[in-house]
């Protein structure tokens, strides 16, 4: 499967909303549901994300296939002091096909080469084996335990190298 990351743009709004609706139940199996208000106010939320991205505080990306179909989201948030937190959601139709691993590798490259970051962190619940596996495969190491909405989880960290 050939994929690429695209930086979030205003013209992504319709496809992104459709992706989130299509995968809502699938995502809710492993992460807290976004709630009905997220969908009702999506246009405002999308504009707010673009404004936040313009400040450099966050870098939002969509994972698309060779035909431009939306497969997932890969975000770097809370950019500060050369680091950011990684978050990603891969839709059900692309799950288990290497899309998350490829996307995380690519965003790590972008984080170092384009955004000048030196490290990324990520968190996931202990029961999300797929996410933990992606983080391990992409060079993240567990650095601590935490509570995620009442569920036990792990914090991960990866030092970045612009050459990788």
Whether 164 maps to a domain, the answer reads no
What pLDDT is attached to residue 31?
75
pLDDT along the chain (164 residues), means of 10: 92 95 88 81 95 96 93 96 96 90 96 97 92 96 91 95 63
State how far the Cα of 11 lies from the Cα of 150, in Å rounded to an integer: 36
Map tokens 């809710």 to a residue: 28
State how far the Cα of 18 lies from the Cα of 7, in Å rounded to an integer: 18
What pLDDT is attached to residue 68?
87
Q: What is the pTM of this model?
A: 0.90
Whether 21 maps to a domain, the answer reads yes
Task: Please give the tally of structural domains in the chain.
Answer: 1
Whether 94 maps to a domain, the answer reads yes
What pLDDT is attached to residue 163?
53
The domain that holds 153 is classified in CATH as: 3.40.630.30
What pLDDT is attached to residue 164?
52
Query: What's phi and psi for 67, nearest 5 deg?
Result: -100, 5
Query: What's phi and psi for 68, nearest 5 deg?
Result: 90, 5
What pLDDT is attached to residue 96?
85
């Amino acid at each position: 499967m050939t994929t690429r990351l695209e930086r979030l743009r205003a013209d992504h709004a319709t496809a992104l909303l459709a992706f989130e609706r299509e995968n809502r139940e699938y995502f809710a199996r492993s992460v807290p549901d976004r709630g009905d208000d997220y969908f009702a106010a999506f246009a405002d939320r999308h504009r707010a994300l673009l404004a936040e991205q313009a400040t450099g505080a966050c870098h939002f990306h969509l994972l698309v296939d060779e035909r431009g179909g939306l497969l997932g989201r890969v975000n770097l948030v809370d950019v500060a002091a050369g680091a950011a937190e990684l978050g990603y959601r891969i839709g059900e139709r692309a799950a288990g096909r290497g899309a998350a691993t490829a996307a995380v590798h690519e965003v790590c490259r972008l984080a170092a080469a384009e955004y000048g970051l030196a490290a990324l962190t990520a968190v996931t619940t202990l029961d999300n084996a797929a996410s933990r596996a992606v983080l391990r495969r992409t060079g993240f190491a567990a650095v601590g335990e935490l509570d995620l909405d009442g569920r036990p989880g792990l914090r991960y960290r990866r030092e970045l190298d612009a050459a990788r």
